[in-house]
């Protein structure tokens, strides 16, 4: 059709417009203009909340791998001091380098168990508690022995018993490997992206490693459970559990944290050590993580990793605690 008149031109424009709006379908989509339409550019700022999602690290200490190393010389392979309330890294040495955690692993073991378990849960030992590694710290559990999660956590965190770590792992993970997966899932949710956990106790394994910073994240999360902080602050613990025949068995343990023992080490003046966890293997060296407070009650997490000896580890930790204002 050839449009030669003004009227014909208008008809042509109208027909083309209808055709374009209909497209290739058989139905017409109506979208009438309105300033109240939710997709209208005139209405973009109406009913829009000014709330913002909190950043993942907004309540965490964040810092470089090395912070204030000129102010303090430590022999440890890695170390860090975190001011919890002010979200500040006061000191860091190789904080983001991977190291072996030894029994500091058990903090994550406890955290996973606290997340999914109840203190009154009854845990029964299988052959999985039989550990033959030379020098491994053991409570002496036998297959068929049973205790509550609350009892197990006390022995795990104070005495660092590796067989109790396996007891917890098999109960909540169904298998030791199953619990390792739960540990890695929890660690990832906390932002521990440079760590991998292959067991619940920290016995040497090349695929089992952490960073000092990731240990801070794990410790910080565990501290949200009052029972965790209560346990790590205890100098000793005694309880009764039962064997497979229902016979009572008494166990009495002391903390491995020498800052809490009368025959151990003293914190610097003005600093109170609340509690912590020790760890030692040939591969990891001597390791120590502490929760401490200043005279105003402000909390700090202090970590020393890969020390050559126990004395060197505690000496470095004492120096680290001395940085608390």
Q: What is the C-alpha to C-alpha distance for residues 40 and 29, in angstroms, rounded to an integer?
A: 17
* CA gap 218, 192 in Å, rounded: 8
C-alpha–C-alpha distance, residues 163 and 170, integer Å: 11
Q: Where are the domains of the chain?
A: 69-321
On average, the pLDDT of the chain sits at 87
For residues 218 and 111, the answer to whether their CB atoms sit within 8 Å is yes
d(CA 78, CA 65): 9
Q: How far apart are CA 192 and CA 216, in angstroms?
A: 10
Query: Are 48 and 285 in contact, with CB atoms under 8 Å apart?
Result: no
Q: Residue 135 — pLDDT band, cuts 50, 70, 90?
A: confident
What pLDDT does 12 receive?
52
**142, pLDDT greater than 90:** yes
Average pLDDT over residues 25-47: 44
pLDDT (tens digit per residue) in 186-199: 999 999 999 999 99
For the residues of 162-208, what is the DSSP string, one character each?
Answer: HHHHHHHHHHHHSSHHHHHHHHHHHHHHHT-TT-B---SS----TT-
CB-based contact 115:173 (threshold 8 Å): no
pLDDT at 104: 98
Eight-state DSSP code of residue 102 = G
Rounded to an integer, the average pLDDT of 208-223 is: 98
Work out the average pLDDT over 208-220.
98
Question: Does the pLDDT at position 28 exceed 90?
Answer: no
Residue 154 has a pLDDT of 98
**What whole-number percentage of the chain has pLDDT above 90?**
76
Neighbours of 60 (CB within 10 A): 17
Q: Over the stretch 268-323, which tens digit does the pLDDT of each residue have?
A: 999 999 999 999 999 999 999 999 999 999 999 999 999 999 999 999 999 999 99
CB atoms < 10 A from the CB of 48, how many?
8
pLDDT attached to residue 228? 98
Q: 210-211 and 299-307: which strand pairing?
A: unpaired
Residues 123-136 have a mean pLDDT of 93
Domain 69-321 has CATH 3.40.50.150: no
Q: What average pLDDT does range 142-160 have in this prediction? A: 98
């Amino acid at each position: 059709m050839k449009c030669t008149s003004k009227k014909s031109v208008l008809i042509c424009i109208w027909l083309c417009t209808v055709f374009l709006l209909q497209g290739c379908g058989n139905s017409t989509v109506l979208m009438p203009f309105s300033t109240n339409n939710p997709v209208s550019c005139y209405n973009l700022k109406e009913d829009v909340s000014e709330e913002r999602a909190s950043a993942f690290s907004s309540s965490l200490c964040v810092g470089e791998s090395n912070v204030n190393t000129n102010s303090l010389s430590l022999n440890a392979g890695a170390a860090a001091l975190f001011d919890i309330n002010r979200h500040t890294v006061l000191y860091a040495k190789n904080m983001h380098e991977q190291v072996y955690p030894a029994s500091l692993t058990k903090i994550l073991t406890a955290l996973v168990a606290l997340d999914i378990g109840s203190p009154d849960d009854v845990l029964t030992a299988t052959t999985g508690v039989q550990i033959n590694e030379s020098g491994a710290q053991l409570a002496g559990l036998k297959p068929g022995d049973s205790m509550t999660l609350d009892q197990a956590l006390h022995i795990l965190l104070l005495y660092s018993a590796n067989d109790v770590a396996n007891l917890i792992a098999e109960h909540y993970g169904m298998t030791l490997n199953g619990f390792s997966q739960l540990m890695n899932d929890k660690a990832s949710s906390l932002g521990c992206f440079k760590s991998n956990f292959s067991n619940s106790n920290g016995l040497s394994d090349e695929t089992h490693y952490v960073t000092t910073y990731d240990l801070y994240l794990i410790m910080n999360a565990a501290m949200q459970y009052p029972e965790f902080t209560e346990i790590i602050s205890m100098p000793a613990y005694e309880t009764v559990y039962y064997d497979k025949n229902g016979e009572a068995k008494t166990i009495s343990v002391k903390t491995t944290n020498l800052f809490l023992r009368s025959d151990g080490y003293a914190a610097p003046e003005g600093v109170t050590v609340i509690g912590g966890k020790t760890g030692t293997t040939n591969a990891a060296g001597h390791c120590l993580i502490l929760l401490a407070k200043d005279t105003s009650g402000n909390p700090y997490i202090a970590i020393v990793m890969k020390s050559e000896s126990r004395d060197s580890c505690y000496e470095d930790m004492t120096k680290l605690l001395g940085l608390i204002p």
